[in-house]
Amino acid sequence: MTRVLIAGLGNMGLSHALAHHKLEEAEIVGLVNRSSVELPQELQGYPLFRTFEEGLATNPDLVVIATYSDSHAAYACAAMEAGAHVFVEKPLATTVPDARRVVDTARKTDRKLVVGYILRHHPSWIRLIEEARGLSGPYVFRLNLNQQSSGGEWETHKALMQTTSPIVDCGVHYVDVMCQITDAAPVRVHGMGLRLSDEIAEDMYNYGQFQVVFADGSVGWYEAGWGPMMSETAFFVKDIVSPNGSVSITEGNKGASADIDGHTKVGSILVHRPGDDRIIEMPSEPGHQELCDAEQAFVLSAIAEDIDLTRHMSDAVKSLAICLAADESIRSGQPISLEEAAV
């Protein structure tokens, strides 16, 4: 039985806690949240701690970290140094040196480190990547995720933007997809962004886009925006193009742009080769909670079966480095070299 501590009880933390509540191989030994939180009935019987240090004193085998981004690196390293394996929500850290420090700690302590790239556990996205790789590169990536958020969703986004911009918070998922398809190192990033609301700090922006060039010649575009002013038109674009054709998600626009379940839905995949179009239907796709269940089941398997996570950790640092370089480019107005980004 794996003793599990969950730190951070926002949307993702609650979902991960519910996953471990259902998993027979897991025993939740505590929940950590610095403020009062309304827990679903399934979680109300577990010990609740206000500080991470109090939770870590329960001696868990696995710590699930779903706190704000600026605490990810410190909490992950502290947990591994205390002997626990770690699942940490994306982004792994808020700087590349901190991300590398977390990976180095995992290697030094021989602990498993899994980063919350939920699309890696989605059968439709796995198939999308497989079909794109089958076309061979170099590739053009056209990916975005804009969210017209209001009310509580906008409050959550404003809280996230105290430490992390939309292109970093959301972008790491889709840049990770790019990296899995190309296998190539990133070379250069050029970003642009704009602050579209007086409700966020003057040094933050709630809309951004960037272009990234890879060593194999592939080029990628990613766009993300949060807030009540964002458009519901073309908020979900997922195209991968190569000299031999293209792969696209054709039914991504399901529901409103702020719908979390809609962010991962594929519906169907269009594989186009000159003179031949093929639709791959993806029925019965998992919802958000089912994907969190799959993520946490994978973490437990990685521990029990001693799965090699070297590539997983390397990709996590690489995708974060690209998104942070884009953020730096937006703030500096200059392209950023990324030839040392990969681990």
pLDDT digits (tens, 9 = 90+) for 18-68: 999 999 999 999 999 999 889 999 999 999 999 999 999 999 999 999 998
- Whether residues 181 and 96 share a domain: the answer is no
- Whether residues 13 and 94 share a domain: the answer is yes
Cβ contact 304:25 at 8 Å: yes
Q: Is the predicted pLDDT of residue 257 greater than 70, yes or no?
A: no
Chain-centroid distance of CA 46 in Å reads: 27
pLDDT in tens, 151-197: 999 999 999 899 889 998 889 999 999 999 999 999 999 999 999 99
pLDDT score at 342: 44
- Whether residues 195 and 173 share a domain: the answer is yes
On whether residue 254 sits in a domain, the answer given is yes
pLDDT score at 187: 95
pLDDT score at 36: 86
pLDDT band at residue 341 under the 50/70/90 scheme: very low
pLDDT in tens, 320-332: 999 999 999 999 9
Least confident span in 3-7, 255-259, 313-317: 255-259
Structural domain of 82? 2-116
In the listed set 100, 116, 132, which residue is the last one of a domain according to the structure?
116
pLDDT score at 100: 96
- Whether residues 98 and 146 share a domain: the answer is no
pLDDT score at 266: 63
Q: Give the pLDDT mean for 306-331.
A: 95
Q: Is the predicted pLDDT of residue 15 greater than 90, yes or no?
A: yes
For 323-326, which contacts have Cβ atoms below 8 Å and span 24 or more sequence positions? 323/91, 323/167, 323/168, 323/171, 323/172, 323/175, 323/210, 324/94, 324/95, 324/96, 324/168, 325/186, 325/189, 325/191, 326/167, 326/168, 326/171, 326/189, 326/190, 326/191, 326/208, 326/210, 326/212, 326/222
pLDDT score at 320: 94
In the listed set 116, 138, 162, which residue is the last one of a domain according to the structure?
116
Cβ contact 206:96 at 8 Å: no
**Percent of all residues in the chain with a pLDDT value above 70, rounded to a whole number:** 94
- Whether residues 109 and 126 share a domain: the answer is no
- Whether residues 252 and 181 share a domain: the answer is yes
- Whether residues 258 and 146 share a domain: the answer is yes
Coil, strand or helix at 236: coil
Q: Give the pLDDT mean for 232-255.
A: 84
pLDDT score at 340: 52
Q: Select from 302, 320, 315 the least CA-distant residue to 93.
A: 320
Q: Select from 126, 125, 132 the least CA-distant residue to 246.
A: 132
- Whether residues 112 and 127 share a domain: the answer is no
pLDDT score at 238: 92
pLDDT score at 267: 75
Q: Is the predicted pLDDT of residue 258 greater than 80, yes or no?
A: no
pLDDT score at 284: 77
In the listed set 76, 97, 116, which residue is the last one of a domain according to the structure?
116
Cβ contact 85:303 at 8 Å: yes
Residue ranges of E strands in 215-267: 219-226, 238-242, 245-249
Sign of the dihedral defined by the CA atoms of residues 158, 160, 165, 167, in that order: negative
Q: Is the peptide bond before 47 cis (omega within 30 degrees of 0)?
A: no
Instruction: Count the helix, strand and coil residues of the chain and give each as a percent rounded to the nearest 5.
Output: 40, 25, 35
The model carries a pTM of 0.88
- Whether residues 80 and 154 share a domain: the answer is no
Residue 195 maps to which CATH number? 3.30.360.10
| Structure token pair of residue 106 | 């995992």
Q: Alpha-carbon distance 302 to 309, whole Å?
A: 8
pLDDT band at residue 1 under the 50/70/90 scheme: very high
Cβ contact 234:252 at 8 Å: no
- Whether residues 93 and 167 share a domain: the answer is no
Structural domains counted in the chain: 2
What is the pLDDT of the chain when averaged over all its residues? 92
Secondary structure (H, E, C), 105-165: HHHHHCCCEEEECHHHHCHHHHHHHHHHHHHCCCCEEEEEEEECCCHHHHHHHHHHCCCCC
Please name the residue that has the structure tokens 């699942």.
87
pLDDT band at residue 227 under the 50/70/90 scheme: very high
Q: Is the predicted pLDDT of residue 86 greater than 90, yes or no?
A: yes
On whether residue 187 sits in a domain, the answer given is yes
pLDDT score at 264: 53
- Whether residues 111 and 141 share a domain: the answer is no
On whether residue 301 sits in a domain, the answer given is no
pLDDT band at residue 84 under the 50/70/90 scheme: very high
Cβ contact 311:343 at 8 Å: no
